[in-house]
């Protein structure tokens, strides 16, 4: 396989990885918001309700039970948010997407050159940096990888090499 063909193949793979990590970052940002907004809302409601209950004296039992359930719900959502680490995952996928994007653009630049002008050491350097990015990157769910890969004409590779 020629160096030019290798770069073209790498370009397709990097496009898929860049796209997949960008999709993951968006997904985890969305999930973080879906847990975070209710936590803030429920915590606010519980805090306000407790002050209202204390200020007005004796409240019916159903109001006290409702406040307790909302408090438990807020605590459970906050725990889930901490445990699932969606914000952290999003940041890691964003960082990976940036690195894959930089490698992709570097290859796009090399693809404008003739095969004779492409320095083999530059290609080796790209491969080494790609290996490093791959080791540091979080895993991509298969369905997201497949969706990203479907946007490109070449046959998708399996992300498990990642």
pTM exceeds 0.85, yes or no: no
Contact 29, 85 (CB under 8 A): no
Query: What pLDDT shows up at residue 57?
Result: 66
CB-based burial label for 77 (10 Å; 0-12, 13-18, 19+): buried
Domain ranges of the chain: 3-161
CA distance 158 to 162: 8
Place of tokens 């073209």: 8
**How many angstroms separate the CA atoms of 97 and 141, rounded?**
15
Predicted pLDDT of residue 157: 46
pLDDT for residue 134: 97
Which pLDDT score is estimated for 26?
97
Q: What is the model's pLDDT at position 162?
A: 43
Q: Give the pLDDT of residue 153.
A: 53
Q: Which residues are within 8 A (CB) of 86 and not within 5 positions of it... i.e. 6 or more apart?
A: 28, 29, 31, 32, 35
Mean pLDDT for back-to-back runs of 10 residues, the chain (162 residues):
92 96 97 90 82 73 83 88 93 98 97 92 96 97 95 53 41
């Amino acid at each position: 396989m020629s160096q030019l063909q290798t770069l073209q193949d790498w370009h397709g793979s990097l496009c898929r990885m860049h796209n997949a990590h960008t999709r993951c970052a968006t997904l985890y940002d969305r999930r973080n918001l879906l847990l975070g907004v209710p936590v803030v809302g429920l915590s606010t409601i519980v805090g306000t309700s407790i002050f209202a209950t204390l200020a007005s004296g004796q409240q019916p039992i159903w109001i006290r039970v409702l406040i307790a359930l909302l408090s438990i719900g807020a605590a459970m959502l906050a725990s889930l948010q901490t445990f699932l680490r969606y914000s952290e995952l999003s940041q890691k996928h964003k960082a990976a997407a940036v690195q894959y994007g930089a490698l992709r653009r570097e290859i796009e630049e090399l693809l404008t050159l003739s095969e004779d002008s492409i320095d083999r050491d530059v290609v080796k350097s790209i491969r080494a940096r790609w290996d490093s990015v791959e080791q540091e990157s979080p895993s991509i769910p298969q369905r997201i990888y497949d969706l990203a890969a479907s946007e490109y004409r070449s046959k998708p590779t399996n992300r498990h090499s990642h």
